[in-house]
């Protein structure tokens, strides 16, 4: 009886020791299975005027990540996208998940490569021109899902072979091997997946065209005058400089039209010039130009005479405000002559005009 009791006690002690020894290993396994920290580098390729708002939206969506998997996010910018960079193996010690967000006209392309460059996710999205708040949100959510997918793996990802084929990149021929039975191997599921090749990116458009309308308030020969009109421009960005040309047509509408008002005679106006700005400051530019003012129809033979006017202006915008692309322009104009209703012609009286214009751009 005593021997039987001793054997039972000994079995109980062995079971307790086994449980105690297994507890640390279970904790270690739980710790090992916790989602590791994911460092992500995202490169944005888009027009300079959309870069700031898009990068801020992507950062807001990606920086937190899942509760157990915080992200370290590194955002950068590039002027062009090279599809071969997606497959290029990184240097030793700097391997991490990479993503590219490319705005190419009405398309947003998301290309994600996992660390080690063995798993890839390609996504395309149709967007408006220019990007609005909804487009930026959709791009950010699509990038977030693509990053989670490429890290977790599975059938939704592409292996290196399938991704190269989808990108339209020709693979080098496999090295020849000695004749003999090939070792059986199970192809990866992601390499068996096929996907249509993404559209090939063309070169960035060299010229960006713009069209807008505006309302100008100017001090014209001592009187305030309103000037509704239209403006068009063509801009090109080269390195750190954004430059282009612009022209506008306007009609002065003095608010106190009377026969003896000095400004009542002014009618149509034409201006043209150049625009200069820094590519790093898409919201600020400088206008330099000149043009002519003509009399209102009915004066001086129906607008046969004109005076030359010179302009310097600073433009803030255009930026998206309440769904509209708006800009504010502060300008100063100078003319060595004036139109005069009493003299029924041009007089040698200089005129310096401060003016302010609110612009709404449609393109």
**In contact, 37 and 70? CB cutoff 8 Å:** yes
**Is residue 26 situated within a structural domain?**
no
Q: Indicate the pLDDT class of residue 296, thresholds 50, 70 and 90.
A: confident
| Peptide bond just before 130 cis, omega within 30 deg | yes
230 SS3 class: strand
Task: State phi, psi for 229 to the nearest 5 degrees.
Answer: -170, -175
DSSP-assigned letter for residue 9: H
Same domain (yes/no): 291, 343 = yes
Average pLDDT over residues 93-110: 84
**Is residue 16 situated within a structural domain?**
no
**In contact, 40 and 96? CB cutoff 8 Å:** yes
Alpha-carbon gap, residue 289 to 215, rounded angstroms: 18
Res. 123: pLDDT tops 70: yes
**In contact, 109 and 102? CB cutoff 8 Å:** yes
Same domain (yes/no): 234, 347 = yes
Range of the domain at 95: 38-168
Residue whose structure tokens are 């700005």: 277
Tokens encoding 183: 């070792």
Task: State phi, psi for 119 to the nearest 5 degrees.
Answer: -130, 140
What are the b/e assignments for 195-213, b being 16+ CB within 10 Å? eeebeebeeeeeebebebe
**Is residue 2 situated within a structural domain?**
no
**Is residue 29 situated within a structural domain?**
no
Q: Indicate the number of domains in the chain.
A: 2
Average pLDDT over residues 1-10: 50
What pLDDT score does 332 carry?
97
Q: Indicate the pLDDT class of residue 277, thresholds 50, 70 and 90.
A: very high
What pLDDT score does 18 carry?
44
Average pLDDT over residues 113-136: 86
**Is residue 46 situated within a structural domain?**
yes
Average pLDDT over residues 173-188: 48
Res. 31: pLDDT tops 50: no
Residue whose structure tokens are 């005479």: 305
What pLDDT score does 11 carry?
52
The CATH number of residue 62's host domain is 3.40.50
The CATH number of residue 242's host domain is 2.40.160
Nearest to residue 42, comparing CAs of 119, 142, 127, 135? 142
**In contact, 122 and 163? CB cutoff 8 Å:** yes
Same domain (yes/no): 219, 147 = no
Query: Which residues does residue 125 pair with via DSSP β-bridges, in sequence order?
Result: 108
Alpha-carbon gap, residue 346 to 133, rounded angstroms: 51
**In contact, 229 and 272? CB cutoff 8 Å:** no
Same domain (yes/no): 121, 254 = no
Same domain (yes/no): 353, 219 = yes
Q: What is the pLDDT of residues 214-237, one digit of tens each?
A: 999 999 888 888 899 999 999 998
Same domain (yes/no): 242, 155 = no
Average pLDDT over residues 242-246: 94
Q: Indicate the pLDDT class of residue 75, thresholds 50, 70 and 90.
A: confident
Same domain (yes/no): 114, 229 = no
**Is residue 174 situated within a structural domain?**
no
* Between residues 329 and 265, the one the model is more confident about: 329
Same domain (yes/no): 354, 233 = yes
What contacts 64, CB < 8 A, 6 or more positions away?
A: 70, 71
**Is residue 71 situated within a structural domain?**
yes
Domain limit, last residue, from 168, 190, 217? 168
**In contact, 259 and 266? CB cutoff 8 Å:** no
Angle at 104 between CA 99 and CA 105, to 5 degrees: 150
**In contact, 199 and 126? CB cutoff 8 Å:** no
Q: 3-class secondary structure for 306-335? A: CEEEEEEEEEEEEEEECCEEEEEEEEEEEE
């Amino acid at each position: 009886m005593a021997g039987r009791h001793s054997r039972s006690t000994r079995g109980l002690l062995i079971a307790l020791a086994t449980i105690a020894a297994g507890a640390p290993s279970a904790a270690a396994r739980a710790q090992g299975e916790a989602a590791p920290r994911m460092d992500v580098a995202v490169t944005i390729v888009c027009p300079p005027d959309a870069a700031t708002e898009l990068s801020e939206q992507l950062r807001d969506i990606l920086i937190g990540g899942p509760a157990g998997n915080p992200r370290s996010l590194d955002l950068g910018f590039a002027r062009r996208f090279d599809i071969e960079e997606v497959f290029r193996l990184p240097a030793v010690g700097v391997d991490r998940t990479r993503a590219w967000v490319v705005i190419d006209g009405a398309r947003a392309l998301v290309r994600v490569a996992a660390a080690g460059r063995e798993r890839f996710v390609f996504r395309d999205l149709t967007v408006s021109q220019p990007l609005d708040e909804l487009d930026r949100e959709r791009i950010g959510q699509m990038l977030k899902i693509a990053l989670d997918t490429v890290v977790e793996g599975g059938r939704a990802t592409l292996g290196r072979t399938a991704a190269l084929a989808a990108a339209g990149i020709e693979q080098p021929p496999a090295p020849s091997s000695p004749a003999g039975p090939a070792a059986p191997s199970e192809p990866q599921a992601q390499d068996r997946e096929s996907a249509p090749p993404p559209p090939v990116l063309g070169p960035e458009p060299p010229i960006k065209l713009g069209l807008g309308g505006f309302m100008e308030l100017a001090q014209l020969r001592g009187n305030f005058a309103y000037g509704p009109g239209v403006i068009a421009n063509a801009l090109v960005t080269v390195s750190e400089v954004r430059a282009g040309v612009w022209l506008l047509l306007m009609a002065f509408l003095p608010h106190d039209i009377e026969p003896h008002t000095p400004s009542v005679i002014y009618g149509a106006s034409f201006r043209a010039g150049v625009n200069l700005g820094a590519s790093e400051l898409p919201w600020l530019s400088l206008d330099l130009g000149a043009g002519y003012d003509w009399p209102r129809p009915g004066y001086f033979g129906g607008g046969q005479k004109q005076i030359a006017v010179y302009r310097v202006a600073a433009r803030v915008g255009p930026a998206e405000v309440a769904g509209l692309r708006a800009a504010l322009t502060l300008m100063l104009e100078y003319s060595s002559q004036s139109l005069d209703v009493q003299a029924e012609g041009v007089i040698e009286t200089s005129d310096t005009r401060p003016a302010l214009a609110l612009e709404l751009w449609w393109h």
